[in-house]
Amino acid sequence: PLSELRHMPGSGSDGTEDSDSSAEREQTNSSESDGNVPKRQRLTRASTRLSQSSQDLKRAADHDESPPLTPTGNAPSSESELDISSPNASHDESQAKDQANRDSDKDLSHRPKRRRCHETYNFNMKCPTPGCNSLGHLTGKHERHFAVSGCPLYHNLSADECKVKAISREKQEEEVKGQEESNSRHATRHQTPTSKQSRYKEQVAEMRKGRNSSLQKEQKEKHMEHRQTHGNTREPLLENITSEYDLELFRKAQARASEDLEKLRIQGQITEGSNMIKTILFGRYELDTWYHSPYPEEYARLGRLYVCEFCLKYMKSQTILRRHMAKCVWKHPPGDEVYRKGSISVFEVDGKKNKIYCQNLCLLAKLFLDHKTLYYDVEPFLFYVMTEADNTGCHLVGYFSKEKNSFLNYNVSCILTMPQYMRQGFGKMLIDFSYLLSKVEEKVGSPERPLSDLGLISYRSYWKEVLLRYMYNFQGKEISIKEISQETAVNPVDIVSTLQSLQMLKYWKGKHLVLKRQDLIDEWKAKEIKRGNSNKTIDPTSLKWTPPKGT
C-alpha cells in the first residue's frame, strides 16, 4: 500500500534512517554475501518506490524536455544516474542516496565559508609594524588595516585620533565643496580672489609665521630618542618641524594615499606582500617602487627585481645580473642619437624596430606612474630616451613617448623622469625637448591626458616659465594668444589655463584682456639670474633631427 511506500530509507522526519529499511538493507547485504537468494527476492519496498518514481520522471520528461533532477537538486551528469531499475537497486540506491545527502550537506556547509573567505583571509593577515594588533586605520574609516600605509601606530597615532581627524577632514571638505559650488557660476567673471579667499590666505600666512625656525634642545632629544628606540619601524616625529597647517596638509595627503591603496587592495589590483615589486636594483641605485607594474608573476612575487640599466632586461637575482652585465654589450639605448650637448643625449627609439626594449621601458615606467596603461602595444610610438653619459656608459635619466600619427597633435603620450634624477631640472628638459620637436614640425603640441600628479606639476611650471619669458621679451602693446601659441608651440587651451592661474586674464566689457603683471615677471627674472647658466636647458642648435614621414 502507498502508506508503506512513503517512508524512504534515510528520509525520516528526524533526519535518521527508518529501522525497517535499515533492517532490510542488512538482510539484503547478508543475502548478497550468501549468493543463494534469487535476484528477484532482493527487490524491497524501497526499490519498488524508486521504480515507480522513475516511471513518473519518465512520464514527466515526455511532457517537459528539461532533464530530471537528482536527489541533490541538480541535473544528472550521465544516464547512469537515471538507471534505477537494476537488480541491486535497494542496496545501490540507498548508498547513492546517502552519498547524495552527504554531498548536499557538504555543499550547504561550504557555502557560508565561501562568503566568509575574503573576510577570513583578511583576519589572518597581520600588520608588519611591531606591536600592532591591526586594529584601526589611518583614514579613520576602516576597522582594520594590514599594511604600513594604513597603520596608525606606525604614524605615531591611535585609532581614536585617526577617527577624530577623519571627521574634521570631512567637515572641511563639505565646507570647501559648498564654497566651490557657490562660486562656480561666476568663475569666468571674477578672476581676482574673493574676500573669503583673501581672508583665508591671510590666515594661512599667519599660521605659517607661527612655526618654530629651529627645534629646541629638549625637542631634538625627544626626536633622537624616538629614532633610536623604534628605528625604521616607526615614522619620525613630525611635531614642531613645520607649522601646524602644513603638517595637517601632509596628514591629509597620507590619509588620501592610504585610502587609494585600500581601494586597490579591495578591488584585487594589488595584494599586500605578494605580486607587487617593492624595490628594484637599477645600476648603482636601489629604488623603492610607487605603483604596481604587470611584470610576469614569477618575477613580481619576488618583491625585489634586478634590472640592467642599459638594455632594461629584468632578472631574479644579483648573481644573474652580475653575469648578464659581464656579457651585455649595450652602453646606450638603441636607435638614433638626435641630440647631444655636454653629457646629455637624447635617443630616438622606434617601438616597431626595438619592440623588446620599449616594452621593458614601459614596464619599468609603470612602477613610478599611476595612469600609465600602455605596456606591450608599442609599435605605433616613438620613444625619446634622455641619458647622462660618463665613463661607464649612457645612464637612463627619463623618457617620453610620442605617437607617430597623432590625430589630436599630442606631442607627448607618456613622460617620466627616473626617481634618482627628480628635482634636478631634467623633467623640464624633457618637456622643452618635446615642444622643440613640435616647433621643427611646425605644429602646436599638447600632452595627452590624463596627466599624473607629478606630470601636471611639471607642465604647469613649464607653461608658467614660457609665458613669463615671452612677456619679458615682448615689446608691443597688444598680446595675441594665437601669436604666443605659434611662437612657443604651446596649445592655446594650455596658455589660457596658465594665464588664469596667474591671474593675468581678465574679462572686461565683453572681452578677455591679458594683463602684464610686472611683479611676476620681475620675480621670474630674479630666479633666472640666481640660477645662472645652468646646463639643464635644451639648446635648439644641438638638435640633429628631421620629422619622420607618416606611415
> Helix, strand, or coil here: 396?
strand
3-state helix, strand, coil split of the chain in percent (to 5) is 50, 15, 40
Asked if pLDDT for residue 205 goes beyond 50, the answer is: yes
The whole-angstrom distance between residue 315's C-alpha and the CA centroid of its chain comes to: 23
Asked if pLDDT for residue 52 goes beyond 70, the answer is: no
DSSP conformational letter for 136: S
Average pLDDT, the chain: 76
pLDDT of residue 75: 38
Asked if pLDDT for residue 347 goes beyond 90, the answer is: yes
C-alpha dihedral sign at 170, 175, 181, 184: negative
Asked if pLDDT for residue 370 goes beyond 90, the answer is: no
Listed in order, strand segments (DSSP E) in 320-390 are 336-341, 344-350, 381-390
Find the helix or strand (DSSP H, E) in which 265 lies. Answer: helix 244-267
Asked if pLDDT for residue 111 goes beyond 70, the answer is: no
What's the mean pLDDT in 327-355?
94
CB atoms within 10 A of CB 255: 22
- Measured at the CA of 408, the angle between CA 506 and CA 426, to 5 degrees, comes to 75
pLDDT of residue 81: 36
- Give the highest mean pLDDT range of 7-16, 51-60, 412-421, 468-477: 412-421
**361 compared with 191, residue with greater pLDDT:** 361
The strand pairing partners of 513, in sequence order, are 506
Q: At 215, is the pLDDT very low, low, confident or very high (cuts 50, 70, 90)?
A: low
- Measured at the CA of 303, the angle between CA 297 and CA 307, to 5 degrees, comes to 85
Q: At 40, is the pLDDT very low, low, confident or very high (cuts 50, 70, 90)?
A: very low
Contact 381, 369 (CB under 8 A): no
The pTM of the full predicted model, rounded to 2 decimals, is 0.57
Q: At 419, is the pLDDT very low, low, confident or very high (cuts 50, 70, 90)?
A: very high
- Give the highest mean pLDDT range of 145-149, 156-160, 184-188, 259-263: 156-160
Contact 37, 21 (CB under 8 A): no
CB atoms within 10 A of CB 399: 25
Contact 443, 434 (CB under 8 A): no
Q: Exposed, middle or buried: residue 63 (CB in 10 Å: 0-12, 13-18, 19+)?
A: exposed
Choosing from 235, 448, 465, 528, the catalytic residue is 448
**538 compared with 80, residue with greater pLDDT:** 538
- Measured between its terminal Cα atoms, the distance across the chain in Å is 88
CA atoms within 13 A on the CB side of 50: 25
**273-330 fold:** Wheat Germ Agglutinin (Isolectin 2); domain 1 (3.30.60)
Q: At 180, is the pLDDT very low, low, confident or very high (cuts 50, 70, 90)?
A: low
Domain range summary for the chain, segments of one domain joined by +: 273-330, 331-542
What's the mean pLDDT in 53-73?
45
448 is catalytic: yes
DSSP states along 205-245: HHHHHTS-SS--HHHHHHHHHHHHHHGGGSPPP-TTTS-HH
C-alpha dihedral sign at 293, 143, 141, 129: negative
Distance CA(538)–CA(431), nearest Å, equals: 10
Does 3.40.630.30 match the CATH number of domain 331-542? Answer: yes
